[in-house]
Structure 1
Amino acid sequence: MQTIYERIEYLIKQKGLTKKSFCEQLNISTGNMGDWKRGKTTPGTHKLIEIGDFFHVSLDWLILGKDTPDTVRESGVDYDLSDVQLSESRVDELLPAEKNFIKEYIAFAEYRKQKMVDEES
């Protein structure tokens, strides 16, 4: 699987959905899906976050194809972050792509938090 679209198509098939049903559930136009298929555009960050959450796969797999969709599901492991020290000098050492990844992850975390609040309501 080479493209984001091909990975999305794979997930749709694995879940036993039609593309139309998938689009309806995630509020995606079939025209956008067609553009993704032709490589004209790719899903935006927020839509990728929604798709990853919908299928329970990581953004690394969805965007980059790293690992496999079965090995990137959330494991429920708690990481000990007590030793992590954030400082401006440490943030300044990050590459632009790393900073962008962190921004996307924060957006993903905020989305997940809001989704949990909405589900409890």
Structure 2
Amino acid sequence: MQSIYDRIESLIKLRGMTKKLFCEELGISTGNLGDWKRGKSTPSTNKLVEISSFFGVSLDWLILGKEQGSFLIKENRSTYLWEECEQANALLSEKEKEFIREYINFTLYKKQQSCDH
């Protein structure tokens, strides 16, 4: 059975990050990360919320390993689909959808630029 740490580690790898960069981005000491790996401790509730938000995954998946029905990760395109997104998609105009796609791509570009430096 996968632990919370195992799921976090897989997300770090999928994102193409180093564990050190992950710790820096989320304000986690490498010692704490090591304690999570060894099972000496687990992330606080607040930190779990931050991690799930950072990677765009559900708390259910992060904590329990439960899959959401319509949840997909395609890391190369950073496509995350939830029921809410599908519902909103039906209500948005094509112009609004294009604006959102551009904003997401811009945000990912800026994030990548900050990781490269």
Q: Structure 2 length normalisation: TM-score?
A: 0.61
> Residue 10 of structure 1: CA displacement?
0.0
The within-5 A match list for 1:11-90 is: 11-67=11-67, 71=71, 73=80, 75=82, 76-77=85-86
The structure with the largest strand share of the pair is 2
Structure 1 residues 44 and 15, CA gap change in structure 2 (3 angstroms)? same
> Residue 28 of structure 1: CA displacement?
0.2
Distance across 2 between alignment mates of 1:78 and 1:30: 40
Provide structure 2 residue ranges, at least 5 long, that are not aligned to the other structure.
Answer: 73-79, 89-117
Contact 1:56 1:74 in 2 (8 A): no
- Alignment RMSD: 2.1
State yes or no: 1:9 paired with 2:9: yes
Contact 1:23 1:29 in 2 (8 A): yes
> Residue 71 of structure 1: CA displacement?
1.7
> Of the two structures, which has the highest relative contact order with CA contacts closer than 8 Å and spacing of 6 or more?
1
> Residue 74 of structure 1: CA displacement?
5.4
Distance across 1 between alignment mates of 2:27 and 2:67: 28
Q: Structure 1 length normalisation: TM-score?
A: 0.59
Provide structure 1 residue ranges, at least 5 long, that are not aligned to the other structure.
Answer: 80-121
The within-5 A match list for 1:86-97 is: none
Count of aligned positions: 78
Q: Deviations over 1:57-113 (max 9, x none)?
A: 000000000017x8265522559xxxxxxxxxxxxxxxxxxxxxxxxxxxxxxxxxx
Deviation beyond 4 Å, 4+ runs, structure 1: none
